[in-house]
């Protein structure tokens, strides 16, 4: 399975990439939403995108809306991985097409649990 990790922090992309490789995913990454859309065009479809909210050039919310408009079949699951913890933000992300939401800081175990909820990981 393939995952696209989208975050402007290289350290977070590295941590998420390591965790996702440990659970069996091949990993591509992007530093912002526009780069992620370019990755989708080149490398897609992905089984999952892990997306930060606050990024330069195109934020995660706009990425989700654009990705869902371009790929309406819903085959790519999207999880927000962000420090945005206000309930209205969570609701906006889910309404835009995110399948799950995990808040930073997170643990590898919490991420694996969310992957299990999405049917992408079993222990």
Whether the model clears a pTM of 0.85, i.e. scores above it, the answer is yes
Q: Over the stretch 43-64, which tens digit does the pLDDT of each residue have?
A: 878 999 999 999 999 999 999 9
> Which residue segments constitute the domains of the chain, with CATH numbers given?
2-117 (3.40.50.2300)
Q: What is the DSSP string of 3-56?
A: EEEE-S-HHHHHHHHHHHHHTT-EEEEESSHHHHHHHHHHHPPPSEEEE-S--S
Task: Please say whether the beta carbons of 57 and 3 come within 8 A.
Answer: no
Q: Over the stretch 59-110, which tens digit does the pLDDT of each residue have?
A: 999 999 999 998 878 789 999 999 888 889 889 999 999 999 999 999 999 9
Task: Please say whether the beta carbons of 81 and 50 come within 8 A.
Answer: yes
Q: What is the pLDDT of residue 17?
A: 97
């Amino acid at each position: 399975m393939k995952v696209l990790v989208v975050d402007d922090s290289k350290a977070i992309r590295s941590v998420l990439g390591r965790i996702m490789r440990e659970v069996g995913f091949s990993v591509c990454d992007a530093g912002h939403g526009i780069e992620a859309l370019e990755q989708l065009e080149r490398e897609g479809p992905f089984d999952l995108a892990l997306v930060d909210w606050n990024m330069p050039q195109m934020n995660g919310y706009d990425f989700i809306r654009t990705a869902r408009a371009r790929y309406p079949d819903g085959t790519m699951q999207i999880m927000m991985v962000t420090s945005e913890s206000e309930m209205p933000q969570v609701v906006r992300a889910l309404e835009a097409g995110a399948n799950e939401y995990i808040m930073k800081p997170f643990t590898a175990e919490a991420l694996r649990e969310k992957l299990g909820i999405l049917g992408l990981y079993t222990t």
